[in-house]
């Protein structure tokens, strides 16, 4: 592991994917010579290439009382778990929306996920935001918002506030490679660099921003701003873990932001509103899924160590599937939040205009109870 | 004290009250381009009073992040005209932070200060009054003080308030307005208008430097036997409907004046609300005297502003309706 504080020429982004250049050396880059190489620990079969690189994930997991973990299969699971495992559990996380694994690592349950997605009265977000916009004060996970990149300068400010107080935490900030084109990415990194804030910028470079490919997103190779940068194989959980752990140490010791770019592939559609075969071939998806699947790779690693077997895998899958279905049904059956909650939390105290509007709605509901799905909601004390 | 000294004083007290409070923005370190942060870096150190890179969206986003960690933040946008790059952070993030998290997180400990309004020669980008853009955004408080005493007391409240506050400072008042400002820590309430002159024929509503114009209007009107009631709105959001309603119920007439363009300006909100609350009391249509619906022009400033002549004419029109 070494730190290379030298800016050199940039080569085109196209070259670092075909063929990818891997390295077993965990190195921070200020700038690439021939495209920043992608750090990896395991090969595609889950075999550790250089045993000095092998971290103690399972040991750590066991110590934290986690015997298993499950992730929905989107190809980026290793980036979530590998990075979250290398953080302290009270390091604040600012995320984009495709980082549910980090929350699950910290203890967010299937029920928590379902309650948010169902907008029911058990959702601490009170059903106000779209599904997958999770947040948790308990797990130090800032509530997700839709506007892309906005969390990046926020993470810088949060890191500065923690540094000011002498708190030994870093702030973790996740975003996709598409969001990195927003002005807020520039603003956030530059602010963090000049204010010397301990924040890790974790870019999930999964090749696509909805339908837009890398070649349409940017032409450079890696990002400067005078901060150390890592490029890591995002499908290699151990590599992500090692990288994040080192980045965290550097951020705290040097009071400096650190950038991690995890190269991965968005296996699934962008969202339920997207059919990704409209802009990319099935062959491309299959290649990534087969050649470099983070779950298979990690499972192979465990099996090579004799820590995991096909039988255990089958039994875990069955168990988790059952649990998911149970929580799914339970969340579905819960009532929605009180309609009252539409008006609360806009301010700490409700101003006159909101009180008047709540009163107006109360009258409307009183006179037209059959026009609204009132029985689906928990009763509202102030709308009675 | 003049206005910039009063603002400086309020910030100094905030920094003394809270050892973690931060002040940042473009060029605030050496005292700010309007001298509002003069000597604060010397007093509190460059960890707490610092220059940022030249990025308004970065300043607003950074402010939100520090505030959500519970830190008191006073961020500065150098001119209100340049707040628009931060519009997304302010409208989509800062304003909605508490609501969207179900109250789990908030950025209530932040204030964004920005000099606003006409200054005689500011042209398009050193003259704007953008309060109406933000009044349309639930979750924000928007304040405009009219002078040094108000500026100190309202800014102190804004800093202590548990909601994000945009604090627009009419820059023409920085040096021109001088008052005996109490040296101690005091607060003036947010969301409350103030009746400056009592009258019975016509209510005048304004904020910021426009109040000086309206004060002159009231004096001129007095000469022709028209008694005006002058109200400083102080808070644009949430605004004090009750005080304005009570006044209009008494006078039966309302003239609202602001520098910002007429269409979509905050006077429209006041006018339509008062029309709802006072329909039986109104003896004349509610009149708005505002900037024209053009960008703020350099050489035509005197023709652009809602000056004494135009406001006085509106009062006469209302009274003789």
Cα R_g (chain B), whole angstroms:
19
Q: In which residue are the tokens 């559609």 written?
A: A269
Q: Are residues B31 and B167 in the same domain?
A: yes
pLDDT of B29-84, one tens digit each?
A: 999 999 999 999 999 999 999 999 999 999 999 999 999 999 999 999 999 999 99
Q: How many CB atoms lie within 10 A of CB A97?
A: 19
Q: Count Cβ atoms below 10 Å from residue A30 Cβ, excluding itself.
A: 18
Identify the sign of the CA torsion A254, A259, A264, A267: positive
pLDDT, tens digit only, all 384 positions of chain A: 343 333 222 333 333 345 567 888 887 765 555 677 788 888 888 887 776 666 554 344 345 443 232 234 368 888 999 999 999 999 999 999 889 899 999 999 988 988 988 889 999 999 998 888 999 999 999 999 999 999 999 999 999 999 999 999 999 999 988 888 889 999 999 999 999 999 999 998 888 887 787 777 777 665 556 678 899 999 999 999 999 999 999 999 989 899 999 988 888 777 777 788 888 888 888 888 887 888 888 999 999 989 889 999 899 888 888 888 888 888 889 999 999 999 999 999 999 999 999 999 999 999 999 999 999 999 988 777
Q: Which of B93, B126, B258, B269 is catalytic?
A: B126
Is B152 found in the same domain as B227? no
- Return the residue matching tokens 């000099």: B115
Residues B169 and B32 in one domain: yes
Residues B289 and B207 reside in one and the same domain: yes
On whether residue B185 sits in a domain, the answer given is no
User: Is B126 one of the catalytic residues?
Assistant: yes
In a domain? residue B181 = no
Cα–Cα nearest to B254, from B236, B237, B279, B235: B279
C-alpha angle A48-A11-B53 in degrees, rounded to nearest 5: 100
What SS3 state is found at B108? coil
| Chain B residues touching residue A136 (CB < 8 angstroms) | 104
Q: Could you tell me which residues come within 8 angstroms of residue B30 by beta carbon, excluding any fewer than 6 positions away?
A: B41
DSSP conformation letters of B17-76 = H-TT-EEEETTTTTT-TTSTTTTHHHHH-TTTEEE--S-HHHHHHHHHHHHHTT--EEEE
Q: What is the CATH number of the domain that holds B213?
A: 3.40.50.920
Domain holding B74, by residue range, is 3-176
Å from A297 to nearest chain B CA? 36
Residue B182 lies in a domain: no
- How many other CB atoms sit within 10 Å of the CB of residue A281? 9
- Considering only the beta carbons, identify the residue of A142, A157, A165 that sits closest to B62: A157
Within this chain, do residues B103 and B218 fall inside the same structural domain, yes or no? no
Task: Say if B239 falls within a structural domain.
Answer: yes
Smallest CA-to-CA distance from B205 within B127, B318, B123 is with: B318
Residue B55 lies in a domain: yes
**Residue A161 to residue B242, Cβ atoms within 8 A:** no
Annotation marks residue B56 as catalytic: yes
| B284 in any annotated domain | yes
- What value of ipTM does the predicted structure carry? 0.86
Helical H segments across chain A, by residue range: 57-63, 77-85, 100-106, 110-117, 151-164, 183-195, 214-217, 237-254, 282-291, 294-304, 310-333, 352-367
Contact A143 B104 (CB under 8 A): yes
Contact call for A184 and B139, based on CB within 8 A: no
Q: Nearest-CA neighbor of A152 among B77, B58, B244?
A: B58
Helix (H, G, I), strand (E, B) or coil at B186: coil
**Which domains, from first to last, does chain A contain?**
32-333 (3.40.50.970), 341-383 (no CATH)
Question: Do B20 and B169 belong together in one domain?
Answer: yes
Domain count, chain B: 2
**Co-location of B155 and B207 in the same domain:** no
Q: Do residues B37 and B165 both lie within one domain?
A: yes
Q: Determine the average pLDDT of the residues in B209-215.
A: 97
Give residue A73's pLDDT: 39
Question: Per residue in B100-132, is it b (16+ CB within 10 Å) or e — as a string?
Answer: bbbbbbbbbbbbbbbbbbbbeebeeebbbbbbb
Q: Are B161 and B45 in the same domain?
A: yes
Category of B27 on φ-ψ map: left (φ > 0), alpha (ψ -120 to 50) or beta: left
Is there a single domain that holds both residue B275 and residue B207?
Answer: yes
Last residue of a domain, one of B150, B176, B202: B176
B183 part of a folded domain: no
DSSP single-letter state for residue A36: P
Whether B189 is covered by a domain: the verdict is no
| A343 Cα to chain B: minimum distance (Å) | 9
A281 vs B281: which has the higher pLDDT: B281
- What is the model's pLDDT at position A82? 93
A238-270 as b/e: b if 16+ CB within 10 A: bbbbbbbbbbbebbbeeebbbbbbbbbbbbbbb
d(CA A380, CA A50): 61
Whether residues B55 and B166 share a domain: the answer is: yes
Which residues of chain B make contact with A196, given a CB cutoff of 8 A? none
Q: Select from A141, A162, A187 the residue whose CB has the most chain B CBs within 10 Å, as the one to mutate to test that interface.
A: A187
pLDDT higher at A6 or B10: B10
Residues of chain B found within 8 Å of residue A158, distances taken between Cβ atoms: 65-66, 68-69
CB B20 within 8 A of CB A165: yes
Look up the CATH number of the domain holding residue B23: 3.40.50.970
Distance from CA of A153 to the nearest CA of B (A): 5
Contact list, B88 vs chain A (CB under 8 Å): 147, 150, 184
Instruction: Please tell me whether residues B277 and B217 are part of one structural domain.
Output: yes
Q: Of B176, B208, B239, which residue is a domain's last?
A: B176
Report residue A259: phi and psi, to 5°: -105, 130
Q: How many CB pairs under 8 A join A and B?
A: 158
* Conformational region of residue A350, where left means phi above 0, alpha means psi within -120 to 50, and beta covers everything else: beta
């Amino acid at each position: 592991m070494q730190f290379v504080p030298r800016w050199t020429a940039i080569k085109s982004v196209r070259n670092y994917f075909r063929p990818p250049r891997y390295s077993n050396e965990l190195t921070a880059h200020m700038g690439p010579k021939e495209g920043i190489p992608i750090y990896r620990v395991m090969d595609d079969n889950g075999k550790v290439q250089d045993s000095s690189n092998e971290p103690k994930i399972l040991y750590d997991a066991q110590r934290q009382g986690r015997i298993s973990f499950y992730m929905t299969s989107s190809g980026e699971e290793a980036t979530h778990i590998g990075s979250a495992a290398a953080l302290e559990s009270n390091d604040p996380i600012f995320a984009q929306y495709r980082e549910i694994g980090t929350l699950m690592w910290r203890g967010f349950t299937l029920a928590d996920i379902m309650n948010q997605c169902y907008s029911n009265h058990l959702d601490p977000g009170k059903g106000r935001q779209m599904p997958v916009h999770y947040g948790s004060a308990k797990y130090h996970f800032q509530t997700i918002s839709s506007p892309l990149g906005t969390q990046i300068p926020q993470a810088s400010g949060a890191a500065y506030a923690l540094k000011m107080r002498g708190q030994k935490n870093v702030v973790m900030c996740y975003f996709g490679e598409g969001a990195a084109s927003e002005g807020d990415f520039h603003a956030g990194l530059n602010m963090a660099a000049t204010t010397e804030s301990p924040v890790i910028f974790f870019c999930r470079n999964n090749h696509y921003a909805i339908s837009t490919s890398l070649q349409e997103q940017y032409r450079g190779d890696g990002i400067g701003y005078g901060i150390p940068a890592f490029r890591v194989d995002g499908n290699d959980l151990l590599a992500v873990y090692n990288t994040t752990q080192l980045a965290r140490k550097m951020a705290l010791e040097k009071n400096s932001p650190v950038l991690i770019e995890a190269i991965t592939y968005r296996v699934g559609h962008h969202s339920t509103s997207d059919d990704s075969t409209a802009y990319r071939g099935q062959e491309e998806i299959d290649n990534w899924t087969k050649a470099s699947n983070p779950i298979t790779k990690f499972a192979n690693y465990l099996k090579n160590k004799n820590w995991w077997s096909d039988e255990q895998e089958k039994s875990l899958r069955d168990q988790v599937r059952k649990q998911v279905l149970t929580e799914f049904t339970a969340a579905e059956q819960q009532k929605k939040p009180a309609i009252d909650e539409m008006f609360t939390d806009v301010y700490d105290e409700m101003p006159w205009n909101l009180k008047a509007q709540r009163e107006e709605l109360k009258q409307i509901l009183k006179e037209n109870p059959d026009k609204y799905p009132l029985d689906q909601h928990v009763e509202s004390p102030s709308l009675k | 004290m003049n206005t910039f000294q009063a603002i400086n004083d309020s910030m100094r007290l905030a920094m003394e009250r809270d050892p973690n409070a931060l002040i940042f923005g473009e060029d605030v370190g050496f005292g700010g381009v309007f001298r509002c942060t003069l000597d604060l870096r010397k007093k509190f150190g460059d960890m707490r009073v610092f220059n940022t890179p030249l990025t308004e969206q970065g300043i607003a986003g950074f402010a939100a992040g520090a505030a959500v960690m519970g830190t008191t933040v006073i961020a500065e946008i150098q001119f209100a005209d340049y707040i628009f790059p931060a519009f997304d952070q302010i409208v989509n993030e800062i304003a909605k932070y508490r609501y969207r998290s179900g109250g789990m997180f908030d950025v209530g400990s932040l204030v964004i200060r920005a000099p606003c309004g006409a200054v005689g020669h500011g042209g398009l980008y050193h003259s704007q009054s953008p309060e109406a853009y933000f009044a349309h955004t639930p979750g924000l408080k928007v304040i405009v003080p009219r002078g040094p005493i108000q500026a100190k007391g309202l800014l102190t409240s804004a800093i202590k308030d548990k909601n994000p506050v945009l604090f627009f400072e009419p820059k023409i008042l920085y040096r021109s307005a001088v008052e005996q400002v109490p040296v101690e820590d005091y607060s003036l309430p947010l969301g409350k208008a103030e009746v400056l002159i009592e009258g019975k024929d016509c209510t005048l509503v304004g904020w910021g430097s426009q109040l000086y114009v309206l004060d002159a209007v009231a004096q001129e009107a007095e000469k022709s036997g028209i008694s005006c009631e002058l109200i400083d709105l102080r808070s644009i959001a949430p605004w004090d409907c009750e005080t304005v309603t009570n006044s209009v119920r008494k006078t039966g007439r309302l003239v609202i004046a602001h520098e910002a363009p007429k269409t979509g300006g905050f006077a429209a909100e006041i006018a339509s609300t008062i029309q709802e609350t006072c329909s039986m009391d109104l003896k004349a249509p509610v009149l708005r005297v505002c900037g024209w619906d053009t960008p703020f022009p350099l050489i035509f400033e005197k023709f652009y502003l809602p000056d004494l002549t135009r406001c006085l004419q509106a009062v006469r029109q209302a009274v003789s309706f």
